[in-house]
Structure 1
Amino acid sequence: MQLVRQNEEYAARRKNQARVLVAVLSLAAIASGCASGGDSDDVRPAHGQQPLKAPPARALDSYAQKLATAQVARALAAKRWGLAKTPLAAPPPPRTKPRITTRKGFEVKGQASLPPVFTTIPTKEKVVFLTIDDGAEKDPALLKMMSELKLPYTAFLSDYLVKEDYAYFKKMQGRGVSLNNHTLNHRYLPGLSYDKQRREICGMQDTIEKHYGKRPELFRPPYGNYNQDTLRAAKSCGVKAVPLWASEAFADHMEWREWDRDLHPGDIILTHFRGRADWKGTMPDMIRRVMKTVTDKGYAVAKLEDYL
């Protein structure tokens, strides 16, 4: 009899869990409808994302409430910022980081001992990574938009632009954004001697440490151009990896490196801190453009550093 009662109690708990999870998903769907006029595809897991796993039954009510609240808040933020669809939620970071190697054709002599150069992170998850370069446009709306949408991104900064307003990027760092090295003066590095390249790279390491408290481990050479001296200098300055990009986002269009002009799991997207003075739109316009592309193709934006 005791075994029968235990089985009945277990079955009852399972039914209750199922009802709560259905309620959570219903709330998420309602939030998605609020954000985009009722499109049922607005809030959904990315392809390949692990199914939702509930915690123990005693914590389920709190878990469900937090999940539903987060989904509703993101959907409402998407509507507020004019996104066509609510961004997809990224899966949890991998427990084991993928092994990063230099992309074929991007090697230099002695590459095996130098920081890897890559455009894509090895992963089967439908995630991409958003990176923003330079530092010319310092739009407060970008900080607010990305925080409200909970969209991760990584910055690569050049001091000749950042020094106009170090505080802007300090606010960005305070919102969880990693600030990385894009040299002091954004010069064409292969045209410089090893010593001059090292001053450009190590000098920016020093600047970021001085103003933001940490020497970055990621470096992106200006224009994506580098040679063996560039990678040697970067390594000597404490750089561990050199992410380039697979596609580039503008306020009014996307540009592609790959032949199929498409996104792929783990692709790195490049864009810039720019505004109407440089392109046809604002930073929020650019985010709307890139997120439409990313979400329409079934991808979520994940944090680059979580995979390195």
Structure 2
Amino acid sequence: MPHSYDYRPEGGLGPRAWTAAVLCLLAAAAGCGAPARPADGGAAPSSAAATVVEEGGQRPAVVPIVRPGRAGQEEDGAVAAGARREEAVRSRLEAVRGWGLEALPLSAPRPPQARPELTPVQGVSLHEGLPPVVARVPTDDQVVFLTVDDGVEKDPQFARMAGALGVPFSAFLADRMARSDYAYFRELAAQGHAVHNHTLTHPDLKLLGYEQQRQEICGQQDQLERELGTRPRLFRPPYGEYDDTTLRAAGSCGIEAVPLWNEEAFPDHMEYRYADQRLHPGDIILTHFRGTDLWNGTMPQMLREVLDTVTAQGFALARLEDYL
């Protein structure tokens, strides 16, 4: 059922900032600057036209050049591509304004050709022969990662907002909480969001033995393969609670890494584990599929809080799977 917080035409950008953003991004989308002018200051010649002087010294007439064959097709294709880029920029700016963001989110850099090698540094815990536990991905890129847990709330406005803004995030689903509407998560996966393992019933795994832990993790691997067609590489233990038995069980189920987190996001604030109360490159942000019954706000409000905070601190959201 849709929430009261919805797409709205009035945004967080002021008129001057909005105008500047539109002009800047439309110029970038065009992919070219102003045409060069001749030394005498006259009008610049057009690459797609020739001039013919009419009788009586009248003003030159512009005659379009018709380019034959492949040259014409390539020129038409370039024009169409430029129009598509311009339309994409317009759509994104409208989405930023409509969802009330304070500024245009920064774009993530091109993903690394290979995922960063994990070493025993801050935020990375290595266990010989077992999946690594990672709360902060080792990278110098100004990127952080958004992860959303459990699957209780299936908010269509959140899916719509993330899609409109091109926001990447990773979902970690527990079957008990997600099973009422796996179609919602199939839709998120179709948008490009990765879906990973968060156990079948969301227990504190440290209270269970090896076989029970393995049933929780492997069972959800099987369930996600049935529902979504993939077996995840990543697993997050409920409550962040795990032990070596958890890692052994996870590894036996095909899990390659266990991402935890350094920040948690809510509709009206962010909580940090660092003393400086700031984001750091490679940080993993936790939030949940929650609604107004458990939160003081909605999932779109939470996403706006995350985007405004991340952008204000000079970071971009990137795909966790490209780095881990």
TM-score range, shorter chain: 0.7 to 0.9
Which residue of the partner structure matches residue 74 of structure 1? 92
Residue 89 of structure 1 aligns with an amino acid whose one-letter code is: S
Structure 2 gaps, min length 5: 1-10, 33-73
Contact 2:123 2:136 in 1 (8 A): no
The alpha carbon displacement at 1:105 in A equals: 8.0
Q: Kindly indicate whether residue 283 of structure 2 is the aligned counterpart of residue 305 of structure 1.
A: no
Structure 1 gaps, min length 5: 1-32, 46-51
Contact 1:188 1:222 in 2 (8 A): yes
**Deviation digits for residues 191-244 of structure 1 (CA, Å, limit 9, x no counterpart):** 111111111111100100011111000000011111000000000000001111
Contact 1:136 1:161 in 2 (8 A): yes
Q: Kindly indicate whether residue 86 of structure 2 is the aligned counterpart of residue 89 of structure 1.
A: no
Q: Kindly indicate whether residue 212 of structure 2 is the aligned counterpart of residue 196 of structure 1.
A: yes
Residue 144 of structure 2 aligns with an amino acid whose one-letter code is: V
Residue 294 of structure 1 aligns with an amino acid whose one-letter code is: V
Match of 1:117 among 133, 147, 163: 133
Contact 1:124 1:265 in 2 (8 A): yes
Provide the TM-score with structure 2 as the length reference: 0.76
Contact 1:42 1:85 in 2 (8 A): no
**Deviation digits for residues 237-271 of structure 1 (CA, Å, limit 9, x no counterpart):** 00001111111100111101112110011111110
Contact 1:118 1:243 in 2 (8 A): yes
Match of 2:154 among 125, 128, 138: 138
Provide the TM-score with structure 1 as the length reference: 0.80
Q: Kindly indicate whether residue 78 of structure 2 is the aligned counterpart of residue 100 of structure 1.
A: no
> 1:259-274, aligned counterparts within 5 Å?
259-274=275-290
The alpha carbon displacement at 1:36 in A equals: 4.3
Structure number with higher helix proportion: 1
Secondary structure of residue in 1 paired with 2:306: helix
Distance, in Å, in 1 between the alignment partners of 2:265 and 2:233 is 24
Number of aligned residue pairs: give it: 267
Contact 1:36 1:79 in 2 (8 A): no
Which residue of the partner structure matches residue 22 of structure 1? none
Secondary structure of residue in 2 paired with 1:112: coil
Contact 2:144 2:284 in 1 (8 A): yes
The alpha carbon displacement at 1:171 in A equals: 1.0
Which residue of the partner structure matches residue 39 of structure 1? 17
Residue 193 of structure 1 aligns with an amino acid whose one-letter code is: G
Contact 1:35 1:76 in 2 (8 A): no
Which residue of the partner structure matches residue 244 of structure 1? 260
The alpha carbon displacement at 1:42 in A equals: 5.9
Contact 1:189 1:221 in 2 (8 A): yes
**Deviation digits for residues 261-283 of structure 1 (CA, Å, limit 9, x no counterpart):** 10011111110000100111000
**Deviation digits for residues 19-43 of structure 1 (CA, Å, limit 9, x no counterpart):** xxxxxxxxxxxxxx99543327868
CA RMSD for the aligned pairs? 2.7
The alpha carbon displacement at 1:107 in A equals: 4.3
Secondary structure of residue in 1 paired with 2:101: coil
Relative distance call for 1:62 and 1:307 in structure 2 (3 A) is farther
**Deviation digits for residues 46-98 of structure 1 (CA, Å, limit 9, x no counterpart):** xxxxxx9x79x978766654443322221110111111111111111111221
Distance, in Å, in 2 between the alignment partners of 1:160 and 1:122 is 33
Relative distance call for 1:102 and 1:207 in structure 2 (3 A) is farther
Secondary structure of residue in 2 paired with 1:291: helix
Distance, in Å, in 1 between the alignment partners of 2:21 and 2:134 is 31
Q: Kindly indicate whether residue 232 of structure 2 is the aligned counterpart of residue 216 of structure 1.
A: yes
The alpha carbon displacement at 1:101 in A equals: 3.9
Residue 15 of structure 2 aligns with an amino acid whose one-letter code is: G
Distance, in Å, in 1 between the alignment partners of 2:109 and 2:102 is 21
Relative distance call for 1:125 and 1:69 in structure 2 (3 A) is farther
Distance, in Å, in 2 between the alignment partners of 1:172 and 1:105 is 28
Relative distance call for 1:189 and 1:103 in structure 2 (3 A) is farther
Relative distance call for 1:85 and 1:269 in structure 2 (3 A) is same
Residue 131 of structure 1 aligns with an amino acid whose one-letter code is: T
Distance, in Å, in 2 between the alignment partners of 1:229 and 1:251 is 35
